[in-house]
């Protein structure tokens, strides 16, 4: 749109025209680029701080002040003053022309933003998210003889530029006046301005105040001197509570000098899901960039929340996230190495703190140890696993057992754990996240260790065989029991094992379960699919019901002669064994349990009536 500039001094100024779609650019910034109106204050602070930095580059002794003054009733206006480099009239026109060009192509937005950040280009226009009018009065420190310049813009896209008398701004620097738009006055209210200024600017290197209230709080908590390590831990815990709302288990110093990074990682006091994306606070040269940086650490480090300051990471165009590039990848790796070093340091020198940490966050360490043999070797004496010997580390378990047996699912472990333990077979429950992978990796860090997956055949082989003569005498009972369970794809075998209180044990493996699922699908399919599924029939072993010959109930049942009663009793033992294993029940299994229960009631009732 066209805009004219005028000057209050006698000398006439040339007529200037700019082709700038300011209305469209304001809409882009207000509704598409920024996530919240709160960013307006960050942009004001950033422009002011960068202007001060620019002036100090040419005048090292120049004042470094930023002042924010809420004005009017209930946040009607805000004034921001800085002692920065300032602008001349030609600077203003150059910036406006650049804004106009960059607004015509998305890729130019970030380029212009990076180049002119700290003057009053794209960043200043972001104030239209809360303001209906922006007025800027500035005087250049580079050209002190140039008169002050005023730029006034409205949210409808119109603007004017003019020069002012010297007394309008005697000293170099810039003053920004905002007038709130309808419904946005709360963002300019004194308490909100102070809160946002402290949130965004607590680590800024200059004197920043809202009225007389200090905003900056330097040095950063992780850089301050403390009387003792204990005092430092207390102070950092207080800082963590203020920022994140929790008291940390511990804190980890983060320092990557090559990337200009200093900060701290706080260890969460309770377990979280590995899939939960962590939100980290990142300051860029002292200014808060984001509270939700998700890609700052490796995925396995989900048990910490970070706050840090950097001068090298690259922000996105909205300055609300980190740009994914090689620098961020290198920083992520370096920060992950720092957390890894903290863990190994605990293992070497503070086992009590490590145990407290692992009791909550063993999952994160296991995730790391899967791909890091050195970490696995370091954590072997500490990482807890569920085993038939209790909750032990892999190192302790391997010392007790010549062969380290494990199951891949929790269901398989529950099937065999009581029996395996009674037979002296050591078993690790590998059904939890990462556990089976770590057990299988054990020989790589502990040479000579034998690791084997426990299956139904291994368990059955460790159970005592019954005397052949006794088993032959029970051939009729076993035949009837097998006939009862054959439609369910289950065999019946007789063994003697401890504990005596367990009458029957249901054993299968994943191959057997897959075959059962295939057979069930085949039975329910139409002719076409039944033929296809039939062609996929496997040779996997069937599940088996192992009857305990030492159990008194099984001995009584095996003496039965009535085939129907043997069938009911066998179904009852099968159902009870499934429930003991805590296995999901198929529809056929549920029907069997119901049938066996009713059959037993009828048998008991019939027996009562016959008396």
- Condensed to tens digits (0 to 9), the pLDDT of residues 187-232 reads 999 999 999 999 999 999 999 999 999 999 999 999 999 999 999 9
Q: Is the pLDDT of residue 293 over 90?
A: no
- What rounded mean pLDDT belongs to the chain? 82
Q: Is the pLDDT of residue 593 over 90?
A: no
Give the pLDDT confidence score for residue 144 in this predicted structure: 87
Q: How far apart are the C-alpha atoms of 563 and 478, rounded to whole Å?
A: 11
| DSSP reduced 3-state for 548 | strand
Q: What percent of the chain has pLDDT over 90?
A: 41
Query: Token pair for residue 351?
Result: 């086992």
Give the pLDDT confidence score for residue 3 in this predicted structure: 41
Give the pLDDT confidence score for residue 324 in this predicted structure: 84
Give the pLDDT confidence score for residue 282 in this predicted structure: 94
Give the pLDDT confidence score for residue 372 in this predicted structure: 86
The DSSP bridge partners found for residue 180 are 131
Per-residue pLDDT, averaged over 532-555, amounts to: 71
Q: How far apart are the C-alpha atoms of 241 and 496, rounded to whole Å?
A: 60
Name the least confident of 37-51, 52-66, 189-203, 516-530: 516-530
395-431 CB burial, b ≥16 within 10 A, e <16: bbbbeebeebbbbbbebbbbbbbbbbbbbebbbbbbb
Q: How far apart are the C-alpha atoms of 122 and 116, rounded to whole Å?
A: 8
Reported confidence tier of residue 1, pLDDT bands at 50, 70, 90: very low
Q: How far apart are the C-alpha atoms of 338 and 334, rounded to whole Å?
A: 6
Give the pLDDT confidence score for residue 460 in this predicted structure: 75
Place of tokens 């260790």: 449
CB atoms within 10 A of CB 363: 21
Q: What is the pTM of this model?
A: 0.70
Name the least confident of 67-71, 495-499, 548-552: 495-499
Residue range 420-461, pLDDT digits in tens: 887 788 999 999 989 999 999 999 999 999 999 887 677 777
Reported confidence tier of residue 117, pLDDT bands at 50, 70, 90: very low
Give the pLDDT confidence score for residue 226 in this predicted structure: 95
Place of tokens 């590998």: 430
Residue range 164-195, pLDDT digits in tens: 998 888 899 999 999 998 888 999 999 999 99
Question: In the 8-state DSSP scheme, what is residue 503?
Answer: -
């Amino acid at each position: 749109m066209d805009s004219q500039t005028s000057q209050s001094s006698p000398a006439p100024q040339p007529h200037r025209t700019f082709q700038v779609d300011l209305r469209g650019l304001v809409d882009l910034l207000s509704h598409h680029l920024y996530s919240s109106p709160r960013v307006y204050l960050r942009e004001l602070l950033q422009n002011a701080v960068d202007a001060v930095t620019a002036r100090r580059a040419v005048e090292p002794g120049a004042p470094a002040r930023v002042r924010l003054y809420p004005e009017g009733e209930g946040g009607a206006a805000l004034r921001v003053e800085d002692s920065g480099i300032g602008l001349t009239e030609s600077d203003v026109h150059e910036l406006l022309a650049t804004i106009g060009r960059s607004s015509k192509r998305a890729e130019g937005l970030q380029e212009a933003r990076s180049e002119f950040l700290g003057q009053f280009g794209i960043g200043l226009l972001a104030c239209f998210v809360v303001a209906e009018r922006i007025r800027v009065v500035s005087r250049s420190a580079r050209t002190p003889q140039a008169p002050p310049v005023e730029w006034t813009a409205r949210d409808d896209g119109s603007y004017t530029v003019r020069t002012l008398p010297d007394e309008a701004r005697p000293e170099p620097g810039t003053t920004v006046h905002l007038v709130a738009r309808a419904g946005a006055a709360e963002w300019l209210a004194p308490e909100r301005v102070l809160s946002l200024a402290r949130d965004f600017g607590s680590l800024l290197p200059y004197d920043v105040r809202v009225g007389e209230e200090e905003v900056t709080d330097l040095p950063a908590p992780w850089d301050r001197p403390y009387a003792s390590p204990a005092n430092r831990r207390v102070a950092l815990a207080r800082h963590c509570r203020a920022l994140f709302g929790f008291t940390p288990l511990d804190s980890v110093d983060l320092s990557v000098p090559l990337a200009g990074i200093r900060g701290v990682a706080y260890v969460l006091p309770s377990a979280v899901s590995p899939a939960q994306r962590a939100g980290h606070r990142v300051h860029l040269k002292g200014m808060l960039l984001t509270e939700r940086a998700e890609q700052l650490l490796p995925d396995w480090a989900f048990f910490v929340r970070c706050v840090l300051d950097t001068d090298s990471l690259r922000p996105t165009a909205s300055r609300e996230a980190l740009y994914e590039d090689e620098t961020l990848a290198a920083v992520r790796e370096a920060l992950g190495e720092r957390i890894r070093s903290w863990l190994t340091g605990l293992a070497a020198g503070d086992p009590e703190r490590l145990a407290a940490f692992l009791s909550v966050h063993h999952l994160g360490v296991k995730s790391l140890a899967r791909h890091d043999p050195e970490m696995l070797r370091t954590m072997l004496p500490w990482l807890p696993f569920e085993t038939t010997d209790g909750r032990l580390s892999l190192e302790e378990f391997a010392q007790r057992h010549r062969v380290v047996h494990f199951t891949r699912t929790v269901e398989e472990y529950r099937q065999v754990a009581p029996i395996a333990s009674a037979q002296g077979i050591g078993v690790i429950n590998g059904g939890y996240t990462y556990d089976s992978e770590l057990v299988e990796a054990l020989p790589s860090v502990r040479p000579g260790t034998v690791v084997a997956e426990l299956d139904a055949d291994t368990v059955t082989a460790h159970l005592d065989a019954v005397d052949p003569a006794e088993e032959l005498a029970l051939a009729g009972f076993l035949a009837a029991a097998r006939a009862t369970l054959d439609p369910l794809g289950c065999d019946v075998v007789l063994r003697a094992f401890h504990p005596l209180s367990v009458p029957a044990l249901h054993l299968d493996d994943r191959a057997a379960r897959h075959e059962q699922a295939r057979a069930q699908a085949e039975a329910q399919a139409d002719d076409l699919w039944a033929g296809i599924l039939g062609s996929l029939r496997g040779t996997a072993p069937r599940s088996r019901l192992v009857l305990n010959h030492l159990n008194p109930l099984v001995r009584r049942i095996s003496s039965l002669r009535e085939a129907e009663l043997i069938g009911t009793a066998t179904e009852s033992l099968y159902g009870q064994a499934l429930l003991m294993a805590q296995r999901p029940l198929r529809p056929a299994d549920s029907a069997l349990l119901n049938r066996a229960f009713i059959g037993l009631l009828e048998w008991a009732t019939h027996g009562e009536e016959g008396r």
